[in-house]
Structures are given as C-alpha cells and as structure tokens.
C-alpha cells in the first residue's frame, strides 16, 4: 500500500515512512492510494471476534509488507490491554435505536487513546528497527495532548512537545498534560487558541530546515496512522448491531474531522453505513459548509466542549480529495484560496458527493447542557459535553429502522463543571486517576510565535 498526498506534489510513501513523516512535504495530508475492500462475507465473519482480532484484520492491509504480522499482532494486543473495559470500545443504549460507542476506556479517558496507544508502540517499533530518533510535535485542544503524552512518556527514541492553548482546556485535561514526570515530554502553554497551535505545527512541517534538523514527526490526525486505528471501532460497533446484514448510521462530535473521516474510510472499505452525521458545537464551520457549499472561517468561540473549539478542520482536506475523485489540483486550489481569503467554495460535483455520505447539525452550549440533563433523567447515564453534542444532533437525524451510533468521545469526569451545571452532580474521576488533580504541574508558557517555539524545541530535543 502506498500513501499519496492530497496536494499531489510529494513522493508517495510506504506506511512506515508515512507514519514518521506526519504531514506530506507539499503541505498535504497522506491518504491511501486505494481503499482495501472487505466483502459482505468477510464483514459478517467479524461478528463475535474480539476487538483486537478485528483491529488486526481491518488494519492489516494498511501495514502489510511493512511490519511483520507477529510484531503487528503483539503491538495491537499490548495497545488495547491498556484499556479498562474488556470490550475495549463497548456500546451502551441511550434511547430507541440509539447507542453510544464508549471510546473513553483508555488511559486518558478520551477516544484519542484508541489511536495513540497504537501509534506510540508502532513508532517505537519502526524507530528501533531503523535505529533512529524523532521529535514529535503536536497541537491539542485538550485531549490529543494528554493521550499522546501518556503513549510516548519515557520512550527513549522520541522527544515530545505538545502545544496547548493556555486557559482553554479543562483543568483535568491540563493536569493530564502537565503532570507527566517523563524527561522526554514537554507541555507548552501557548498564548493563543487551538487553531494557532495547529498552524504552528503545520508551519514547522513546512519549514524544511527545522523539520530535518530535529527529525520532525507528528501525532495529530494529520498522521494517517491515527485515522487507520480509528476505522476499527466503526466496524466493531456496526457489526455488533447486525452489519453487514443491517445498515447503521453514525453521529460524530467533530472538530478536526479525523474521527468522522475514519468512518468515511470504513464505508469506502465496504461497511454498510447509511449516513455519517457531523455534529458541531457553536464552532459550526462544517455544518455551515455542508449547508452552503462554502467553507468560510469566522472567529473561534469558547464553549463547554473545548476540544471541538476549532475552525480549521485539517482532515476535511482528505475528504475533499476523495470526494473530488482524487483531484489534487482541486484540493491545492481550495487550500490556496483558504490561506489567502479565509474561505473557499466547493465545486458542485464535489459537494454533491460529500452530501451523499454526510449530514450535519449543531448544538449550542444550552442544547448540550439540556441533552446531558435529558439523558441523565431518561437512562441514568452521564454524557460528557462533546458526546452530548453528538446525541443532540443524532436525535434530529434519526431514521426509522436504522440504528444510530453516537461516538462517545470523552469520559464525563474530564469536564466536571459542564456536567455539574447540567445534572447538579460532579462526576468522579476513576479511582486509578483519583490523585490527578493533586499531582505537581510542569509546563512552559510560550508566546504564539513560531520562531520562539521552534527555538525552544531545537534547544530541548535530543534528536
Ligand atoms: C472529546 C472530543 N470529542 C470530539 C473531538 C473531535 O474529534 P475530531 O477532531 O477527530 O473531529 C475531539 C477532538 O479531537 C475531542 O477531544
Ligand atoms: N480535539 C483535538 C484537536 C486535535 O485533533 P487531532 O485529532 O488532529 O489530534 C484535541 O483534543 O486535541
């Protein structure tokens, strides 16, 4: 399997090189040049298998020839042994034909753990094989950072720098990032918002001298390996509700578009998905784009679902590429216009293709709060504010006879204030994280200036 850039100017790479490269050298994102196909019968045979067994089967075509099968199998099994639920990503019912896919049983209580636990081990494996080191830089609106730090802490072959927007992540998210004692981990509090942090990371990838001097690598969902790992739970959940004999829909709380793009990939690979529903908070650029065909940036507003307070949805570029029929020139033109004017208009055929797979909706802070309250009353279940956005939007898009799976992207205890405001009860962290908020913090505040951040990284990396 080769991976090509959405902008068509970078050399196609193998899986290992794609994973270590992160972003393509032309500024584009890597995508598989074709989708592996799973037949109806092959999908039917996934029923009853463990999460790890399905994960190995679904991901194998993406890594085949690059990693030995036995090594890959043990990496997958080790990764998901860190989860505190036997099913890894279980489903719970929250309404009539409505299910929540709990993706937060990993070490940092967010869906990011599903991919990050795997990438940490895969990167280590490849770097060891090649006797190389890497400097990993990531941007976070709260969850990616904690999950990445947990997955990479103490790994000798990597130094990790996580840029988070100061004052815009929840206290639990912040403590998860800042309480690591590992020497290879650096939490950087940037005076800006998530989009600023993400823009700096992309600029570092586009700055060839810096990129080469530190052996730059990335763990945001610009990295294809992140998406690959997230495809798996679309298969496990759909199969447990009767796929491929039955079609299901997914509603996904969306920010950077990585999670829902993994659902699109699953559909392209043969999983019978009716609709993929993009659920946004007040930062509703994607819902507006689906309505109007115009991707048009406005300022970021702060909400009770901070991890989705995003304007520049990186992975939407991957969708534009696939929906345009792999037209890298079309994508390059969109991205050029976005950079110049903060907006672009999608061609009618490409928009039509997108609308055939996706629907979108939004929930504001009040609607998220009401949904947390409603679900608590209806089924004694506590949602986090991100998953609540998903449930609210899902309830507006249900179709008779089609099970709706909402992705439960974080544990409620990561956002205790928002949950308490809705239910009156503050959710507890699990016992094994009970001392988190009393752990000592260690982070470096930096201004939102590329040069200052690059200098800091160059000085502190061992690559
Ligand atoms: C809890 C939570 N929900 C939803 C999202 C949005 O996911 P994505 O960025 O993959 O669209 C994020 C951040 O990525 C998150 O941390
Ligand atoms: N919501 C994310 C933002 C970064 O997204 P990623 O999936 O590209 O890593 C976060 O919590 O950091």
* Complex prediction ipTM: 0.99
The DSSP line for 68-114 is -HHHHHHHHHHHHHTSSSTTSS-EEEEETTEEEEE---STTSBTHHH
The DSSP line for 342-402 is SEEE--HHHHHHHHHHEEEEE--HHHHHHHHHHHHHHHS-PPPHHHHHHHHHHHTS--TT-
Q: Is the CB of 257 under 6 A from ligand 1?
A: yes
d(Cα 139, Cα 25) in Å, to the nearest integer? 18
Give the model confidence (pLDDT) of 80-105 as tens digits: 999 999 999 999 999 999 999 999 99
Distance of CA 376 from the midpoint of ligand 2 (Å): 27
pLDDT score of 177 more than 80: yes
Q: What is the pLDDT of residue 427?
A: 96
pLDDT score of 463 more than 80: no
Distance of CA 255 from the midpoint of ligand 2 (Å): 7
Task: Mention every residue, 6+ apart, whose C-beta is less than 8 A from residue 140.
Answer: 146, 148, 162, 163, 164, 169, 177, 194, 197
Inter-residue contact 164 to 188 (CB < 8 Å):
yes
| Average pLDDT score over residue span 50-67 | 98
Query: Between 316-323 and 348-357, two packed helices, what is the crossing angle to 10 degrees?
Result: 110
| Average pLDDT score over residue span 112-127 | 98
Q: Is the CB of 409 under 6 A from ligand 1?
A: yes
User: Hey, what are 390's tokens?
Assistant: 């998903």
d(Cα 369, Cα 366) in Å, to the nearest integer? 5
pLDDT score of 27 more than 90: yes
- Quote the DSSP letter at residue 428: P
| Average pLDDT score over residue span 248-264 | 98
| Average pLDDT score over residue span 251-275 | 98
Q: Quick one: how far is CA 300 from the chain centroid?
A: 19
Higher pLDDT, 311 or 253: 253
Neighbours of 246 (CB within 10 A): 14
Give the model confidence (pLDDT) of 197-231 as tens digits: 999 999 999 999 999 999 999 999 999 999 999 99
In this structure, the residue with its CA closest to atom 12 of ligand 1 is 307
Q: Is the CB of 276 under 6 A from ligand 1?
A: no
- Torsion 289-291-292-297 (CA) sign: negative
Residue ranges lining ligand 2, Cβ < 6 Å: 140-145, 220-221, 255-256, 258, 307, 314
Q: Which atom of ligand 2 is nearest to the CA of 222?
A: 8
User: Is the bond preceding residue 244 a cis peptide, omega within 30 degrees?
Assistant: yes
DSSP-assigned beta bridge partners for residue 277: 251, 359
Neighbours of 182 (CB within 10 A): 13
pLDDT score of 462 more than 90: no
Task: Mention every residue, 6+ apart, whose C-beta is less than 8 A from residue 424.
Answer: none
Distance of CA 280 from the midpoint of ligand 2 (Å): 14
Give the model confidence (pLDDT) of 354-411 as tens digits: 999 999 999 999 999 999 999 999 999 999 999 999 999 999 999 999 999 999 999 9
pLDDT score of 439 more than 90: yes
3-state helix, strand, coil in the chain (%, to 5): 50, 15, 35
Specify the pairing of strand 358-362 against strand 216-218.
Answer: unpaired
Burial of residue 47, with CB atoms counted within 10 A of its CB: 0-12 exposed, 13-18 middle, 19 or more buried: middle
Percent of the chain with pLDDT over 70: 100
Specify the pairing of strand 216-218 against strand 134-139.
Answer: parallel
Shortest-distance ligand to the CA of residue 169:
2
Q: What is the pLDDT of residue 374?
A: 98
Q: If you average pLDDT over every residue of the chain, what do you get?
A: 97
**Half-sphere exposure at residue 310, Cβ-oriented, CA atoms within 13 angstroms:** 27
Inter-residue contact 23 to 202 (CB < 8 Å):
yes
Q: Is the CB of 258 under 6 A from ligand 1?
A: yes
pLDDT score of 441 more than 90: yes
């Amino acid at each position: 399997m080769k991976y090509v850039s959405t902008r068509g100017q970078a050399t196609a790479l193998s899986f290992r090189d794609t994973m270590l490269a992160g972003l393509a050298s032309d500024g584009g994102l890597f995508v598989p040049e074709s989708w592996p196909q799973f037949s109806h019968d092959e999908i039917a045979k996934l029923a009853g298998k463990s999460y790890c067994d399905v994960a190995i089967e679904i991901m194998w075509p993406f890594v085949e020839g690059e990693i030995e099968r036995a090594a890959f199998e043990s990496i997958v099994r080790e990764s998901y042994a860190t989860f505190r639920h036997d099913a890894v990503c279980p489903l719970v019912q929250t309404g009539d034909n409505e299910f929540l896919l709990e993706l937060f049983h990993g070490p940092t209580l967010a869906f990011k753990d599903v991919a990050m636990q795997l990438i940490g081990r895969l990167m280590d494996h490849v770097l060891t094989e090649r006797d190389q080191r890497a400097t990993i830089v990531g941007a976070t609106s709260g969850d990616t950072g904690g999950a990445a730090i947990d997955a990479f802490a103490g790994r000798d072959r990597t130094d990790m720098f996580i840029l988070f927007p100061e004052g815009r992540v929840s206290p639990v998210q912040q403590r998860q990032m800042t309480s690591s004692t590992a020497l290879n981990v650096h939490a950087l509090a940037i005076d800006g918002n998530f989009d600023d942090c993400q823009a700096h990371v992309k600029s570092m990838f586009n700055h060839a001298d810096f990129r080469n001097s530190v052996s730059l690598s990335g763990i945001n969902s610009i990295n294809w390996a992140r998406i690959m790992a997230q495809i798996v739970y679309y298969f496990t959940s759909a199969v447990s509700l009767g796929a491929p004999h039955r079609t299901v829909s997914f509603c996904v709380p969306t920010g950077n578009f990585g999670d829902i793009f993994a659902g699109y990939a699953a559909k392209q690979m043969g999983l019978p998905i009716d609709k993929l529903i993009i659920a946004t908070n007040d930062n509703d650029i994607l819902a507006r784009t689906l309505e109007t065909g115009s991707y048009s940036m406005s300022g970021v507003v702060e909400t009770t679902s901070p991890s989705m307070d995003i304007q520049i949805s990186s992975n939407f570029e991957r969708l534009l590429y696939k929906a345009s029929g792999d037209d890298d020139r079309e994508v390059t033109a969109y991205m050029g216009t976005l950079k110049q004017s903060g907006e672009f208009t999608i061609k009618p055929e490409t928009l039509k293709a997108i609308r055939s797979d996706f629907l979108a909706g939004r929930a504001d802070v009040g609607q998220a709060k009401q949904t947390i309250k409603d679900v608590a009353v209806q089924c004694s279940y506590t949602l986090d504010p991100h998953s609540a956005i998903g449930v609210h939007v899902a309830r507006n898009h249900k179709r008779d006879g089609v099970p709706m799976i909402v992705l439960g992207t974080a544990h409620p205890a990561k956002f205790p204030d928002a949950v308490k405001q809705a239910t009156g009860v503050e959710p507890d962290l699990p016992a094994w994280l009970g001392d988190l908020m009393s752990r000592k913090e260690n982070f470096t505040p930096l201004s939102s200036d590329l040069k200052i951040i690059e200098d800091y990284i160059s000085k502190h990396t061992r690559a």
